[in-house]
Structure 1
Amino acid sequence: MKLDTDIHNYYEQLVLEKIESLEIEKKHDADYIADLTCLVLNQLRPRYIRFEVDMAFYLPASERQQMEMNVINAIDLSLNYLNDHYRK
């Protein structure tokens, strides 16, 4: 088993999807996006899975919605933090 290919944090995909939907990469460079992603993921409790289908079948809709809200809140906090620090 290889940990880096067999197991991953489900939040990683949710965060990347949300960042992409906000089109942040149109306003900022790759370093900013990497910093943002790290800050966001560090605020979220990891949910490790092997297969995406595991979450699709076993995750209640209410929990999925809560996870999405957690991502949005973490992105907002991280954007505020980064914007304050990148200006200085």
Structure 2
Amino acid sequence: MKISDDIHNYYEKLVSQHFASLKLEEKYDTEFIADLICVVLNQLPPRYIRHEVDMAFYLPASERFEMENNVKVAVAKALEFMKENS
């Protein structure tokens, strides 16, 4: 059985959006960013979806807020970890 290319972890999108809002790609090189993404995503529970529309219609606002907050905390912790260990 092949897992569909459509299946992905929704946290990846949230992490990408938060990175963009912080303009991290302007501050760090691609190697640092790649490692940072791994550290961040390893702190978060996977949330697999097939279609973005599923999350838009079926995710309660409170859960979306919690997920976004989880990303902010994970990014802050990962940045601290990466800076200390680089």
User: What's the TM-score, normalizing by structure 2?
Assistant: 0.95
Q: CA–CA distance in 1 between the matches of 2:2 and 2:25? A: 31
Q: CA–CA distance in 1 between the matches of 2:4 and 2:36? A: 21
Amino acid at match of 2:25: E
> Aligned pairs, how many?
86
Amino acid at match of 1:46: P
- Alpha carbons of structure 1 residues 15 and 58: separation in structure 2 relative to 1, 3 Å: same
* RMSD of aligned Cα (Å): 1.2
Higher helix share goes to which structure? 1
Q: Which runs of 5+ in 1 are unaligned?
A: none
Q: CA–CA distance in 1 between the matches of 2:44 and 2:4? A: 19
Residue of structure 1 equivalent to 2:52: 52
Please state whether the residue corresponding to 1:41 is helix, strand or coil.
Answer: helix
Residue of structure 1 equivalent to 2:66: 66
Q: Where do 4+ consecutive residues of structure 1 move more than 2 Å?
A: 1-4
Amino acid at match of 1:8: H
Amino acid at match of 2:49: I
Q: Which runs of 5+ in 2 are unaligned?
A: none
Residue of structure 2 equivalent to 1:24: 24
2-11 or 20-29: bigger deviation: 2-11
Identical aligned residues as a percent: 58
Residue of structure 2 equivalent to 1:81: 81
